Chain A
Amino acid sequence: MAGGSSEEGPRPAAAPVRPRGAVWLRSLRDGTRGFFRILWSNPLSFIGFLLVVALAVAAFLAVVAPNLVLPYPPNQLSTAYKQPPSATHWFGTDELGRDIFSNVLAALPLDLAIGFAVAGASLIVGGALGLVAGYWDRPGSLGGALSVVIMRVTDIFLSFPSLILALAIAASIGRTVDGVVLAIFASWWPYYTRLARGEVLSVKHQPYVMAARAAGVRDRRIVVRHVLRNVIEPLVVYFTMDVGTVIVVFSTIAFVINNVLPYPSATPEWGVMIEFYENFVSTLWWTVLAPGGAIFVTVLAFSLLGDGLRDILDPRSRRAQAAAGVPTHVPQAGESS
């Protein structure tokens, strides 16, 4: 019997042989459609998706056309001192009349960039190390030795509390944005190595990997085609959620270590803002609440999206199937002999 059976619910119809060339386009379109259907079926991840899109657009505009989106230049002083949030100053003003909303928005591109840079670099470096350590781990071989080295180094890094480690590194290599980013990355990648290795270990004993070996496929190709393809999904989900977390950590470090970034400046940062305004928390509470709220919303947006991605990325996921539309009956091939 050829296609669908009844045991696992709906199945898409048999695809006819498609013309070459248009295939990737078609699958892209199908994929996009599936993506939105699944998002739609899960309101929370849909909200997350919308928030992330909004943040990205705002950040893009804040870089490209600051005059268009920022109501006031971030640095500009005015006589409207200590204004609580109002229609003219959405998030209020500080003691020198700077518009808080403009500062929060101007900080968005930098904070997003930091989040993506650290999480992305960790994903690539940590993931690659985990892939190598997980796949070539036969004791006694060169790969096995390398695997042991990678994992022990990872363990050493993991044995420190990551925030303390990042703080220590940041304090020693310099109080600049680059320094802090590097410091966070140094404490961040081991988690990806651990995660990737664990996933690789479970995938590499799957029969389809054995089948590829039995077919004479080279190891390098197996790693890319079979292993990587099946471990990338949890890594990407983790990455998505991490973007927000990195921003929290960066802001924390910026809060703890003085003078990472100047403030007030043309490129503010949320953590720096909170540090700067901390003395006003009881009087001008909005000056602290606004950057804090921005961090909260960013973290939430990426976590919600990450949750939804888990369902979207797995072609077998039940929700993906259910959302794939009306089940159809797969035509059967003629039977045996």
Chain B
Amino acid sequence: MTEPVLEVEHLSVDYVVGAGRFQALRDVSVRVERGHVVGIVGETGCGKSTLARAIPRLLPRPPAEVKSGRIRFNGVDLLEVPAWKLPTVRGTGIGMIFQEPLNSLNPAFRVSVQIAEAIHIRKLREAGAATRTSSGGEPFDYSRGPEVSRSEALGHPFAVGGTAAETVVEKQANRRATREEVLEFLRLVRINDPETIVNLYPHELSGGMRQRVMIAMALSARPSLLIADEPTSALDVTIQAQVLTLMKELIDEVHASILFITHDLGVVAEMADEIGVMYAGHLVEYGPVQEIFEHPRHPYTAALLQANPTRYKADGPLSSISGSVPNLSRLPPGCPFHPRCPIARPSCGADPGPSLELVPGATEGPSSHRVACPYSSEVVSPV
């Protein structure tokens, strides 16, 4: 069996604000197999965005503080990588797509410049000019565009604008090659007229177009893992559907491994192979998407699925979850969901809370159905 691209094990992150301490992530374990899409769903403040930023170590410190756990990315524990090496990990191994594409693109540069930068950094890495941190450096099974040979790139180790030694002809050739590659990546994300688009500034693009450019930029670094944090939440539904279509096609074409973070159950049902459900910093359920949607074993998952309004007024009230999400600074002892849980017992409030266990009847495997509830057999599947 091949090694997973990403393996997060028992990750705990705290936020320290003044005297207060918030448990942002508690004992979260996630595994992304090569070529798989893992969805993380949960409500606002459940820690899913913290997870997305903790993996490439983008969390601001302070206030964030990693308490324990391991983040194995292509076999390397990212938490042990010294800080000065981090940019190479982020820029080359892990690509990020954020929710608001207007803020994630630099408004002062044309599209072409921004993608070219990502390509350039990748070339440095491929040529060995930049520190390579991940052993599994071969990212995608595809290679489009001209490949740079090691000697070629080594000749120009700092070739951002070209070295002094570089001749004008070489410079132009390099620039043309990069531009060709930029266009190639824009075509990859189904942009019809890349020659025009590359010369535009981010604000001149529509929301859907910007998100495509973001995806192109993320892919142009040929990362082995894409982390998409609510990539379509700011888009209109018809645009969202098209971007999701694009992402699905890319999964096939480039065998991308994606960690897909969203609050939208519809989107995750459409995209993910496995999903993890988060609640108050805890991963409460994890498993194959179809299993979880059809036979949720955690009472929170079941309630979340039922709260999605799929009925008319005449059909009676919507079911929802009583109470509200607990304050992360004051999590209840034991299972974090027990104060709102319909099947809670007194023992649910006792520490330590339940940990993720294999669902009874499921076969052992890296992505088999697991749940953090000892009474999972009582959970009724939604109709």
Chain B 87-131 interface mask (CB, 8 Å, partner A; 1/0): 000000000000000000000000000000000000000000000
Give Cα A329 to B323, complex, Å: 12
- Distance between A215 CB and nearest chain B CB, rounded to angstroms: 28
Give Cα A1 to B19, complex, Å: 27
Q: Among the listed A5, A11, A323, A327, which residue makes an inter-chain contact with B325, where contact means beta carbons less than 8 Å apart? A: A5
Q: Is the CB of B330 within 8 A of A332?
A: no
Q: Is the CB of B320 within 8 A of A335?
A: yes
Q: Among the listed A2, A6, A337, which residue makes an inter-chain contact with B327, where contact means beta carbons less than 8 Å apart? A: A6
| A4-B327, A6-B325, A335-B322 as given contacts; A322 in contact with B17, CB under 8 Å | yes
Give Cα A41 to B20, complex, Å: 14
Residues of B within 8 A of A3 (CB): 324
| A2-B324, A327-B330, A335-B320 as given contacts; A7 in contact with B45, CB under 8 Å | yes
Give Cα A333 to B45, complex, Å: 20
- Distance between B332 CB and nearest chain A CB, rounded to angstroms: 9
A335 closest partner in B (C-beta):
B322
Smallest CB-CB A-B distances: 8 pairs: A1-B324, A7-B45, A6-B45, A322-B18, A327-B329, A6-B328, A329-B330, A335-B322
A9 within 8 A of B: yes
Q: A9-B329, A11-B327, A335-B320 are in contact. List 11 more A-B contacts (CB 8 A).
A: A2-B324, A5-B44, A6-B327, A7-B45, A9-B15, A9-B22, A10-B327, A327-B20, A329-B330, A332-B324, A337-B317
| A7-B45, A335-B320 as given contacts; A323 in contact with B18, CB under 8 Å | yes
* 22 CB < 8 A contacts A-B: A2-B324, A5-B44, A5-B327, A6-B325, A6-B327, A7-B44, A7-B45, A9-B22, A9-B329, A10-B20, A10-B327, A322-B18, A323-B18, A326-B19, A327-B20, A327-B330, A329-B326, A329-B330, A332-B323, A335-B322, A336-B320, A337-B317
- Distance between A324 CB and nearest chain B CB, rounded to angstroms: 9
A11 closest partner in B (C-beta):
B327
Interface residues on chain A, number (Cβ under 8 Å): 23
A325 closest partner in B (C-beta):
B19
Instruction: Classify the interface of chain B: helix, strand, loop or mixed.
Output: loop
A265 within 8 A of B: no
Give Cα A336 to B15, complex, Å: 32
B44 closest partner in A (C-beta):
A7
Taking CB atoms and an 8 Å cut-off, the chain A residues in 1-50 that contact chain B are 1-7, 9-11, 41
Give Cα A138 to B19, complex, Å: 49
B280 within 8 A of A: yes
> What residues of chain B have their CB less than 8 Å away from a CB belonging to chain A?
15, 17-20, 22, 44-45, 280, 317, 320, 322-330
Chain A 201-232 interface mask (CB, 8 Å, partner B; 1/0): 00000000000000000000000000000000
Q: Among the listed A1, A41, A332, which residue makes an inter-chain contact with B18, where contact means beta carbons less than 8 Å apart? A: A41
Give Cα A10 to B22, complex, Å: 9
A76 within 8 A of B: no
Give Cα A212 to B45, complex, Å: 31
Q: Is the CB of A10 within 8 A of B44?
A: no
A328 within 8 A of B: yes
Residues of A within 8 A of B329 (CB): 9-10, 327
Residues of A within 8 A of B327 (CB): 4-6, 10-11, 327, 329-330
Give Cα A326 to B20, complex, Å: 7
> What residues of chain A have their CB less than 8 Å away from a CB belonging to chain B?
1-7, 9-11, 41, 318, 322-323, 326-330, 332, 335-337
- Distance between B257 CB and nearest chain A CB, rounded to angstroms: 29
- Distance between B254 CB and nearest chain A CB, rounded to angstroms: 34
Q: Is the CB of B17 within 8 A of A5?
A: no
Q: Among the listed A41, A322, A328, A336, which residue makes an inter-chain contact with B330, where contact means beta carbons less than 8 Å apart? A: A328
- Distance between B21 CB and nearest chain A CB, rounded to angstroms: 10
- Distance between B336 CB and nearest chain A CB, rounded to angstroms: 10
Residues of A within 8 A of B330 (CB): 327-329
B46 closest partner in A (C-beta):
A6
Residues of A within 8 A of B325 (CB): 1, 5-6
Q: Among the listed B17, B19, B323, which residue makes an inter-chain contact with A335, where contact means beta carbons less than 8 Å apart? A: B323
A4 closest partner in B (C-beta):
B327
Give Cα A328 to B329, complex, Å: 8
Residues of A within 8 A of B320 (CB): 335-336
Which of the listed residues B22, B320, B326, B330 has the most CB atoms from chain A within 10 Å of its own CB? B330
Give Cα A336 to B317, complex, Å: 10
- Distance between B197 CB and nearest chain A CB, rounded to angstroms: 32
- Distance between A97 CB and nearest chain B CB, rounded to angstroms: 55
Q: Is the CB of B45 within 8 A of A5?
A: yes
Give Cα A327 to B280, complex, Å: 16
Which of the listed residues A5, A41, A323 has the most CB atoms from chain B within 10 Å of its own CB? A5
Residues of B within 8 A of A332 (CB): 323-324
A5 closest partner in B (C-beta):
B325
A9 closest partner in B (C-beta):
B17
Give Cα A10 to B20, complex, Å: 8
Give Cα A192 to B302, complex, Å: 57
- Distance between A56 CB and nearest chain B CB, rounded to angstroms: 30
- Distance between A14 CB and nearest chain B CB, rounded to angstroms: 13
Q: Is the CB of A1 within 8 A of B323?
A: yes
- Distance between A7 CB and nearest chain B CB, rounded to angstroms: 4
- Distance between A46 CB and nearest chain B CB, rounded to angstroms: 16
Residues of A within 8 A of B22 (CB): 6, 9
Which of the listed residues A9, A318, A328 has the most CB atoms from chain B within 10 Å of its own CB? A9
Residues of A within 8 A of B280 (CB): 6
Give Cα A42 to B323, complex, Å: 37
- Distance between B111 CB and nearest chain A CB, rounded to angstroms: 30
Give Cα A337 to B322, complex, Å: 11
Which of the listed residues A3, A6, A336 has the most CB atoms from chain B within 10 Å of its own CB? A6
Give Cα A326 to B18, complex, Å: 9
Give Cα A5 to B44, complex, Å: 9
- Distance between A329 CB and nearest chain B CB, rounded to angstroms: 5
Give Cα A329 to B330, complex, Å: 7
- Distance between A42 CB and nearest chain B CB, rounded to angstroms: 12
Give Cα A3 to B325, complex, Å: 10
Give Cα A326 to B328, complex, Å: 13
Which of the listed residues B15, B20, B327 has the most CB atoms from chain A within 10 Å of its own CB? B327
Give Cα A41 to B44, complex, Å: 29
Give Cα A318 to B20, complex, Å: 13
- Distance between A311 CB and nearest chain B CB, rounded to angstroms: 13
